[in-house]
Amino acid sequence: MLQGIRVLDFTSLLPGPYAGLRLSDLGAQVVKVEPPGGDPARYMGDALAGGGVVFLANNRNKGSVVLDMKTPTGREQALALARDADVVLEGFRPQVADRLGIGYVDIKKVNPGVIYCSLTGYGQTGPMSALAGHDLNYMAISGMLSQFTDDRGEPVMPKLQLADLLGGVVASEAILAALVNRQRTGKGCRLDVAMTDALMGLLNTHTLIHAATGYRWGVEELNGHLICYHLYETRDGRTVSLGALETKFWQTFCNEVGHPDWVSAQFTEAVADNPVFQAIKEPFL
């Protein structure tokens, strides 16, 4: 669907490359600009033919060029590439792209209709904009990390870089909207995408529920305390998810395992003194 759309990608590591990957998967031509020595992701994770797995996983179907942006020649070459780009994607900390001579103002001079997307942790303005950070920091500051806890309620380390990946999703979404707007109006734009903002946007339901009831964990029926929406251990030491909030699905489950007598217990607690909860474990073991 994006065949003919040209993207110039100055990003590295995970968030920006994942945004570029999503555009590439939709058919855009993505040219990745790497510094001398390459994207650091080339050396992250186990090495396979062609580079580290973090790089390979997020940069398929992209072209690549090495430019030293700290030299006049590198800047001139970057601006030459930007002249024909529909989209420029960068992930430097605020003001860095300007100092390198590839900021929005610089590129707009040679390409007035460009869609210029800056993807950072905290955005281009505000008291935290200049701070360095990583996925874990954005998870913590946004409040998202508080939703990942152990049995004691203590935060745990997520195994997925949710801020980085969601940042890439939101950036690609914004770019797609900007492409539609340019088709309608003929105008490019500057996009300021912050990973922390993206995470906070996922907490809209949690925030309203907390304001109305004081409950911190979102939709209470979905937090695993009901027997009909729970994780159950299996015989082989793994886990199976049971999601049967709708009565018709719960009835089907109960009938299939030969226990129509469980139907009335659908919304009871998954606690040790609940005999149906204890009995429901058996079909999985």
- By annotation, the residues acting in catalysis are 164
Structure tokens given for 215: 């409950």
Torsion sign over Cα 187, 188, 189, 194: positive
Please check whether residue 46 is in contact with residue 52, taking contact to mean a CB–CB distance below 8 angstroms: yes
Question: String of b and e for 94-106 (b: at least 16 CB within 10 Å)?
Answer: bebbeebbbbbeb
